[in-house]
Each structure stands twice: as C-alpha cells, then as structure tokens.
C-alpha cells in the first residue's frame, strides 16, 4: 500500500483529536490485522473465523478482548465481521444507519476503549449509503428517522456528490470523537489510535482514508 498504517492512524488521530498523537503500535497492529482480514475476504468471499462452541465457551469464561471498536452503518450489506474475517470476541461493533456518532455510539466506544482496552477505533462508511442519500434530498422523514437523517445531514455538510457526502459524514463522526475526554486521555498516552475507512459494497474492499480524501 502507498501509505503506512502509522500515517493512516496519524491522519485519523489529527482528525479525531485535533492534535498530533503519539504513535500507537498496538493500533497499527490492529489496523494491519483488519486489512489482512479484508484482503482474505476479497480473495475468498468467505469468513474463516472461529465460530465454534469452544470459542464461545472460552470468551464466556474469560471475557472479551476485542482487537478494535468499529462504528459502521447498519446497512445489511456492510457486515463488519465478514468484511474483516473476524469471529466471536474479535470486534466491538456499533452500528446505526449512517454511522452517526450518537451519544450511545460514543459511550459504547468509550466503554470499549477504557474497559476492554481496544487499541483502535475505526469508523467506516460505505458506498451507496441510503442514509447519506436521504440526507442529500430535501424530503423530510417523520419521527426519529427524521432526527437521524438530520444528524447525517450535519455530517454531510455542503457536499452534493454522494461520494464526497459519504466521506464528509465519516470525517464528521471521526472529528466528533474529540468530544470525549476519555478517548483523548487514552490517545495522548499512546494507547489508542483512530482511523477512517470507506467500504465498497460491490468489490468488498475497505479503503482507508487520508488527508486528500477529507474535505
Ligand atoms: Zn449506510
């Protein structure tokens, strides 16, 4: 790949915390393992991860030690465990339509970081996101859906192009992580890294983002 995982995490860290964060080798290793899992998924279109009663019982007994917290869209075509070839106990996943960093989502990420000690927070948007498409339209949905779309609209900003809108929305969620003192403290001590990605629902590829992708 053209960019090192350290560069990708450095970009994610600057976007999330608005400062240069110390390197986090654990986050680099986690990001590398996720991308290796995605490469396997693209090549084989199957998930080799362990789903046995053995791993179920082991994690029930010993607790969970996930490699990363992943915030992504609830879209049924974006299943993070399959995309990253991960099994039981490997990913702490938070999903909602449009990968919005709601209070519930941020609290869940704080839990994963502070109590489960995940070294990496990955926020992943995707191509063809219906929530972003809805946010680009003038039509107003009733009820809580309308409130959700309004949140996505804030993330989309002034973008009109769907791809740019997806990137803006993703970057907005990454930037909003900076509201968390819990995450900031862990990141400042080199124990937490941040990355942003877009998933292509046609190819199965996860593309990690850098400066030139942000608006
Ligand atoms: Zn979506």
Query: What DSSP letter does each residue of 32-45 carry, written as one string?
Result: HHHHHHHHHHHHHS
User: Tokens representing 76?
Assistant: 């049924």
* Strand order, beta sheet including 193-199: 91-96, 68-73, 120-126, 193-199, 206-208
pLDDT the model gives residue 3: 84
Ion ligand 1: residues, Cβ under 5 Å:
73, 75, 129, 131
Report the separation in Å between the CA atom of 197 and the middle of ligand 1, taken as the mean of its atom positions: 13
Report the separation in Å between the CA atom of 99 and the middle of ligand 1, taken as the mean of its atom positions: 7
Cα gap 27→194, rounded to integer Å: 8
CA angle 70, 114, 88 (to 5 degrees): 45
Q: Check residue 88 and give left, alpha or beta (phi > 0: left; psi -120 to 50: alpha).
A: beta
Report the separation in Å between the CA atom of 159 and the middle of ligand 1, taken as the mean of its atom positions: 16
Cα gap 66→116, rounded to integer Å: 7
Report the separation in Å between the CA atom of 181 and the middle of ligand 1, taken as the mean of its atom positions: 28
pLDDT in tens, 170-212: 999 999 999 999 999 999 999 999 999 999 999 999 999 986 6
- DSSP SS3 for 20: coil
Domains located in the chain, CATH noted: 6-213 (3.40.1050.10)
Report the separation in Å between the CA atom of 209 and the middle of ligand 1, taken as the mean of its atom positions: 17
Cα gap 104→121, rounded to integer Å: 15
Report the separation in Å between the CA atom of 87 and the middle of ligand 1, taken as the mean of its atom positions: 22
pLDDT the model gives residue 212: 61
User: Tokens representing 15?
Assistant: 């976007």
Report the separation in Å between the CA atom of 170 and the middle of ligand 1, taken as the mean of its atom positions: 11
User: Tokens representing 138?
Assistant: 């003038």
Report the separation in Å between the CA atom of 78 and the middle of ligand 1, taken as the mean of its atom positions: 8
Cα gap 190→183, rounded to integer Å: 11
Q: Is the per-residue pLDDT at 106 higher than 60? A: yes
Report the separation in Å between the CA atom of 208 and the middle of ligand 1, taken as the mean of its atom positions: 17
Report the separation in Å between the CA atom of 31 and the middle of ligand 1, taken as the mean of its atom positions: 22
Q: Is the per-residue pLDDT at 16 higher than 50? A: yes
Report the separation in Å between the CA atom of 92 and the middle of ligand 1, taken as the mean of its atom positions: 18
Q: Strand locations in the chain, DSSP E?
A: 68-73, 91-96, 120-126, 193-199, 206-208
Q: Is the per-residue pLDDT at 50 higher than 90? A: no
pLDDT grade for 89, boundaries at 50, 70 and 90: very high
């Amino acid at each position: 790949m053209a960019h090192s995982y350290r560069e990708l995490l450095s970009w994610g860290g600057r976007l999330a915390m608005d400062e240069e964060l110390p390197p986090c080798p654990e986050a680099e290793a986690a990001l590398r393992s996720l991308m290796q899992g995605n490469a396997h998924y693209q090549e084989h279109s199957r998930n080799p991860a362990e789903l046995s009663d053995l791993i179920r019982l082991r994690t029930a007994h010993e607790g969970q030690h996930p490699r990363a917290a992943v915030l992504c869209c609830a879209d049924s075509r974006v299943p993070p465990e399959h995309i990253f070839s991960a099994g039981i106990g490997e990913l702490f996943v938070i999903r909602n339509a449009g990968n919005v960093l709601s209070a519930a989502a941020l609290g869940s990420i704080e839990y994963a970081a502070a109590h489960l000690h995940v070294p990496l927070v990955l926020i992943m948007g995707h191509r063809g996101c219906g929530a972003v498409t809805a946010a680009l339209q003038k039509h107003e949905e009733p009820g809580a859906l309308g409130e959700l779309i309004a949140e996505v609209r804030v993330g989309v900003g002034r973008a009109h192009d769907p791809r740019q809108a997806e990137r803006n929305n993703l970057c907005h969620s990454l930037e909003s992580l900076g509201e968390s003192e819990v995450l900031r403290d862990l990141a400042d001590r080199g124990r937490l890294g941040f990355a942003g990605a877009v998933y292509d629902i046609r190819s199965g590829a996860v593309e990690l983002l850098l400066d030139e992708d942000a608006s």
